[in-house]
Structure 1
């Protein structure tokens, strides 16, 4: 990776509903959550980072990420406070709404701007503060390209995105056609009420790319708690389980298998559960692998 040239700056990128200008590449960056951190790693940006946050509490730190972050410290196991970011003398925070920041919370672009900490927001998460199109794999590509510009590695980012696009195009071209889209429910967590992905969540884009339809595509949200009634009524043929946290994927599947309310759902009847690690189900470099996993499952 070639170092950024001063002539590459200043650069201005769109971050949700804001334009953010960088006079130089950040040198003390912090990323929140495993998927955002992996975007930084994919671009080779650890030399620009002082740490990451929001991973271990969710039990999403796998060997790939552990090796990638090397000696970088986890500065907070959950959402960081303003004091954590100031204590690390951060000059950049890569986070998202409900990915390290909360609307009206103490850590936002406005509150951090007072301390000269620039913020770039995860594109998928922008739905929490503005209107945007439904989730698309392009959301993830957009973030990589913007990070490339912010850190002066635009060519690296473009090559990475082109590689993902070519890989996905080759894979999609080789897929046998489905007679009709497969009806899919995304089960993230929750027993009394399920937490799932709606129209603006990345799983919707992954499912569609693989030949399915998210049965909650009409829910005008990204990640959201709903009731079980619409799940039962919409008869999913496949259930995608997002694997993270203290409840295992198998425990989530067993909950659905053992509950009489779900006994007639085709996915439960036919035991068609597909497990995606959290890092694959959320926007990040492993989204292409997720599409391949789903496409194979839909065609079994």
Structure 2
């Protein structure tokens, strides 16, 4: 995780271009295929899921927050993040309702499609806007509601920049993005030309939950010098048959660690799945484990790139 000390370093020694003009309201921001207008910086914001909550905290936005949601019901909170969250209520352990947001006097909801919102559900930008709640959608998740290119780290940088403008904290935002980009550039300076075939395993036994080209794992694998075996699948988080995995024969399997089923249990399932015994990654037992907060769009994406690069290519 990018610790507070790292953020402080970025703020102290960030490049000159980190300084930006203050936000002028009203401000209109593009969110997926919508324009959202803010008359002022939100004062009672809620972030959904651990990755989006971490973004808000890293930008120093806790004073602007009424709470967060969708964290403790799915995954544990790292110790340093728990310290920062102290005093901020979790409004719902899994999914908040419209009533939950209204009762907390929420004026801004930072979430994503399949990250707290679903198409046709009760909680969407179109249901919340008439209630005075502006919604900003996670850029990577826009693939569920519009056609867009393959996921990239620019999706995360875009979300941070937009949050910076919405809350008028551009200098802090630019310093953080510069630090993240520097970390990724340092990794990529040392990547060899060979790109191992990589399969990301999230969960599932009958079929595998994984990521196609529109999910953040695509961007992470690319940035770390690997090749997602499902890079031709025009989908974000999706399910595939094991036959597809066998046919594409990954050399490395990346396991996403979260929920009640541990990474070790997932690894045990894969190693003992009869259908996978001819797969190179299984035969050579090449596994890399990354936590959910690194596999989804957020500031810990740079740590995922570092971990994956070491696992793909060695130190």
Query: What is aligned with 1:214?
Result: 228
Ranges of 4+ aligned residues in structure 1 off by more than 6 Å: 4-7
Q: Do 1:186 and 1:242's aligned partners in 2 also have CA atoms closer than 8 Å?
A: yes
Structure 1 residues 248 and 37: CA distance shift in structure 2, 3 A: same
Query: What is aligned with 1:230?
Result: 244
- How far does residue 80 in structure 1 lie from its aligned partner after superposition? 0.9
Cα distance between partner residues in 1 of 2:23 and 2:176: 23
Establish whether residue 193 from structure 1 lines up as the match of residue 207 from structure 2. yes
Query: What is aligned with 2:47?
Result: 31
Which of 60, 70, 90 is the matching residue for 2:86? 70
Q: Do 1:60 and 1:278's aligned partners in 2 also have CA atoms closer than 8 Å?
A: no
Count of aligned residue pairs for this structure pair: 296
Q: Do 2:242 and 2:275's aligned partners in 1 also have CA atoms closer than 8 Å?
A: no
| CA displacement 1:238-294 (0-9 Å, x = unmatched) | 000000000000000000111221111111111101001000000000000100000
SS in 2 for 1:280: helix
What residue ranges of structure 2 are gaps of 5+ in the alignment? 1-10, 12-19
How does the TM-score come out when normalised to structure 2?
Answer: 0.91
Structure 1 residues 255 and 105: CA distance shift in structure 2, 3 A: same
Establish whether residue 94 from structure 1 lines up as the match of residue 110 from structure 2. yes
| CA displacement 1:57-116 (0-9 Å, x = unmatched) | 112422132122121011001111111111111000000000010100000001101110
SS in 2 for 1:186: strand
Establish whether residue 110 from structure 1 lines up as the match of residue 150 from structure 2. no
What are the within-5 Å matches in structure 2 for residues 147-186 of structure 1? 147-173=163-189, 175-178=190-193, 180-186=194-200
SS in 1 for 2:238: strand
SS in 1 for 2:131: coil
Provide the aligned C-alpha RMSD in A: 1.5
SS in 2 for 1:50: strand
SS in 1 for 2:52: helix
Which of 279, 296, 302 is the matching residue for 1:288? 302
Cα distance between partner residues in 1 of 2:191 and 2:119: 43
What residue ranges of structure 1 are gaps of 5+ in the alignment? none
Q: Do 2:191 and 2:309's aligned partners in 1 also have CA atoms closer than 8 Å?
A: no
Query: Which piece of structure 1 moves more, 157-166 or 112-121?
Result: 157-166
Query: Which piece of structure 1 moves more, 256-265 or 198-207?
Result: 256-265
Query: What is aligned with 2:101?
Result: 85
SS in 2 for 1:58: coil
Query: What is aligned with 1:265?
Result: 279
- How far does residue 6 in structure 1 lie from its aligned partner after superposition? 8.5
Establish whether residue 130 from structure 1 lines up as the match of residue 122 from structure 2. no
How does the TM-score come out when normalised to structure 1?
Answer: 0.96
Establish whether residue 254 from structure 1 lines up as the match of residue 268 from structure 2. yes
| CA displacement 1:23-82 (0-9 Å, x = unmatched) | 110000000000000110110100000100001111242213212212101100111111
